[in-house]
Amino acid sequence: MAVAPARGAIGAPLDRVDGLDKVQGKADYAFERHPEDLLYGAVVQSPHAKARVTAVADAGALALPGVRHVLHHGNAPALEPVADGELSVLQSDEVAYRGQAVALVLADSLEAAREAAGRLAVDYEPAPHDVLLRDDHPGLYAPDGVNGGYDTDSVIGDVERGFAEADVVVDRTYATPTLHNNAMEPHAAVAQWDGGDLVLHDSSQGTSGERATIAKLFGLDPARVRVISHHVGGGFGSKGTPRPHAVLAALGAKVAGRPVKLALTRRQMFSLTGYRTPTIQRVRLGAKRDGTLVAIEHDAVSQSSHLKEFTEQTATATRVMYAGANRRTTHRLARLDVPTPSWMRAPGECPGMYALEAGIDELAHELGMDPVELRIVNDPPEHPENGKPWSSRHLVECLRAGAERFGWAGRPASPGERIEGRSRIGYGVAASMYPTYRAPAQASVKREADGTFTVRIAAADIGTGARTVLTQIAADALETDPGAVRVELGDSALPRAGVAGGSMGTGSWGSAVHKACRALIGGGGDAAQADTTEDVKALEPFARHAFGAQFAEVHVDADTAEVRVTRLLGVFAAGRIINPKTARSQLIGGMTMGLGMALMEASVLDHEFGDWTNQDLAGYHVPACADVLDIQAHWIAEDDDHLNPMGSKGIGEIGITGTAAAIANAVFSATGTRVRALPIQIENLLT
């Protein structure tokens, strides 16, 4: 497909079109809806990781002033079965994890609802639980597939023969912990029934998909459900599918015959909104003395719940990154008494790239080779497993440009060599990759009486600037100024659109918006609409990915072993950049999350109680401004006409996928100590 020429709006650093509304408090979020006759909901959670509810004594709670209803498995309306067992709330007496919702209290005030929830008497019959992931778990199995529609395993060539022929082999095991998304805006919903129709205001990354799921749960035609999510205060994947709070709000409103507002507390988000699964990953790499890879193996172990099978695609990035005739990747899953993991920024690619890129660094050290050059030597001319031509691949250019900008040539020659004052200084590098997805979407555009244009699409702006870049795409397609375009989104009543996830929002929604706008210009009328369902098939012959290179400098205190990331630099090849201002923000945000993954973030599991102990932002640490001293995001010009009419690739996730490895590799450079389990903590380095 031909990429549309820029007409002025695309490529400009346009300020966010909704920025003023946000700073003035005019942007509406789900919890801020306040219909008349409103009830507040409070969730009662199980204190056991595996149990059966034997009794719910609700008389005491209902006797409190203002308390109207208590719902539990014994009196809640029946829901239709769906694939996501997490959504079958209050349908069974079985408890599958600690923190699972076992009751819902509805009251006239939030205070009354929470008071009653705390007093509700629920009896349980506990059972022994199993919450610990290990690579020798007796229940490990190979699922039928992994997230994203990928095959569970892949085998190319003869891996064992390849290792036998290698001059150097590294065989390492890496581990990543449970990570929680912790968006700024807690998950919240306001549900209201009008006869048999449901209107649900929810903090959602995809109103069209949520409408379909909620409708199925309640046995409704999707036309009778409307999901509205005009603004979302972050999600990182945790709002990509409906969560139990939305179903509970709808159930409560149905029983009460009144609107219900339900917001999860920060602590409840650790149980009811998904998380990144912990992983155990074995990486084996075999190479010739010149660095040429002859064997690659990546085995990943992760966990899911007994309510739903979710397998993170941890090893799939290894299928893409480097050349090598003999290769094998596998995924194995353990079903434990835990909540169901789900999407978190770059699910699969993020932890998988950490292990692979740390392994590549270890191989470079064993070979005595520059890790930048090792990656360049093994850059594949085509997809190394399916043989498809790249739509574009400029990883080598990113590595070379990043090395020059960063001053890589001046890196310490050997680990622990450079000491300045109290600091041991190290440099690290890692590559980044993320697939370029595109999903079908619909859009409409109308020419208003005043000469402006209104574009409508059920997209979601979760803080990424989607409204702004869609405005720019529409303006160029309409051959007008961005100020003449208004974009309406965040409502399932608008033309259907896919989820804000997988870094595919701009490419998917923008294609539909562009097509509708060009149809209006070409048709000469005052309105037009478009559907890109058929257009997506043209992309199949190509392997489409964004690539990048991350460089990190760390200072490790020689006495306390405290690690400080003093410089972090990324160079990316992500197609045409629609808006450099919002793009840089997204890339820096991803890199900052990667810094947190490397040094801070971890949900700490208490095996006895089967739950995470640090369920707040005091115990679950994320980077603050003082932790990000010098962070830069750059990109190279990349023209790719095999993607979408804009020539864009996703940027929401490429920034995170290489950062943790670059920092871990820099820590090794500084100290000579290789830490293979994240996050890197002081006690790992004190020896």
Q: Which tens digit of pLDDT belongs to each residue from 645-668?
A: 999 999 999 999 999 999 999 999
- With both helix axes pointing from N to C terminus, report the angle between 659-671 and 349-367 in degrees, rounded to the nearest 10: 30
Round to whole Å and give the CA distance between 472 and 609.
51
Alpha carbons 396 and 379: distance in angstroms, whole number: 7
Quote the pLDDT of residue 3.
63
Mean pLDDT to the nearest integer, 223-233: 98
Tokens of 383: 């997809």
The predicted pLDDT at position 116 comes to 98
- What share of the chain has pLDDT > 90, as a percent? 97
Question: What CA–CA distance (Å, rounded) separates 440 from 71?
Answer: 39
The per-residue pLDDT for 2 is 62
Q: Which of 180, 224, 450, 210 has the alpha carbon at shortest distance from 338?
A: 180
Give pLDDT tens digits for 105-162: 999 999 999 999 999 999 999 999 999 999 999 999 999 999 999 999 999 999 999 9
Residue in the block written with tokens 């194995």: 332
User: Is 6's pLDDT higher than 60?
Assistant: no
The pLDDT value given to residue 1:
59
Q: Find the helix packing angle between 659-671 and 580-599, rounded to 10°.
A: 50
Mean of the per-residue pLDDT values for the chain? 97
Which whole number is the average pLDDT over 347-372?
98
Sequence-separated (6 or more) residues with CB below 8 Å from residue 572: 398, 432, 546, 547, 548, 549, 587, 633, 634, 635, 636, 651, 654, 655
Tokens encoding 657: 């996928």
Contacts with 509 (C-beta within 8 Å, 6 or more apart), sequence order: 441, 443, 457, 459, 466, 470, 497, 498
For the chain, the residue count is: 687
The answer to whether the bond into 679 is cis (omega within 30° of 0) is: yes
Specify the pLDDT at position 94. 98
Query: What are the two backbone dihedrals, phi and then psi, of residue 271, each rounded to the nearest 5 degrees?
Result: -105, -30
Beta strand extents in 458-562 (DSSP E only) = 485-488, 527-531, 543-557
Residue 683's H or E segment, with its range, is helix 682-685
At 33-91, the pLDDT tens digits run 999 999 999 999 999 999 999 999 999 999 999 999 999 999 999 999 999 999 999 99
Q: Is 648 helix (H, G, I), strand (E, B) or coil?
A: strand
At 439-473, the pLDDT tens digits run 999 999 999 999 999 999 999 999 999 999 999 99
Residue pair 274/341 in contact (Cβ under 8 Å)? The answer is yes
CB atoms within 10 A of CB 220: 16
Helix (H, G, I), strand (E, B) or coil at 525: coil
Return d(Cα 475, Cα 7) in angstroms, integer: 8
Would you name the residues annotated as active-site residues?
A: 653
Percent of the chain with pLDDT over 70: 99
Q: What is the pLDDT of residue 539?
A: 73
Residue 628 is predicted with a pLDDT of 86
Q: How many Å apart are CA 297 and CA 318, to the nearest integer?
A: 8
Nearest CA among 660, 32, 8, 16 for reference residue 349: 660
Residues 6+ apart with CB under 8 A from 545: 320, 390, 393, 433, 434, 435, 436, 649
Residue-wise DSSP of 402-455: HHHHHTGGGS-SSTT-EEETTEEEEEEEEEEEEE------EEEEEE-TTS-EEE
CB atoms within 10 A of CB 20: 11
**Tell me: the pLDDT tens digits for 455-464?**
999 999 999 9
Residue pair 122/55 in contact (Cβ under 8 Å)? The answer is yes
Q: Which residue has the tokens 């139990």?
A: 244
DSSP 3-state assignment of 462? coil
Q: What value does the mean pLDDT take over residues 337-343? A: 98
Rounded Cα distance between 18 and 464, Å, is: 11
The answer to whether the CB of 492 falls within 8 A of the CB of 228 is yes
Residue 687, pLDDT score: 74
Amino acid residing at 160? E
**In this structure, are residues 105 and 58 in contact, taking their beta carbons and an 8 Å threshold?**
no
pLDDT of residue 524: 84
- Work out the burial of residue 49: count CB atoms within 10 Å of its CB; fewer than 13 is exposed, 13-18 middle, 19 or more buried: buried
Q: What is the CA radius of gyration of the chain?
A: 26
Write the burial class of residue 500 (CB in 10 Å: 0-12 exposed, 13-18 middle, 19+ buried): buried
Distance CA 238, CA 222 (A): 23
Question: CA 434 → CA 64, 204, 437, 574, distances in Å?
Answer: 53, 23, 9, 9
What global pTM score does this model have? 0.97
Each residue of 538-597: pLDDT tens digit?
778 999 999 999 999 999 999 999 999 999 999 999 999 999 999 999 999 999 999 999
Q: What is the DSSP letter of 681?
A: -
Give the pLDDT confidence of 202-227 residue by residue, as tens digits. 999 999 999 999 999 999 999 999 99
Q: 273-307: per-residue pLDDT in tens?
A: 999 999 999 999 999 999 999 999 999 999 999 99
Nearest to 503 by CA among 643, 315, 345, 319: 345
* 190, 29 Cβ separation under 8 angstroms: no
Q: Mapping DSSP to helix (H, G, I), strand (E, B) and coil, where does residue 609 land?
A: coil
Residue type, 468: T
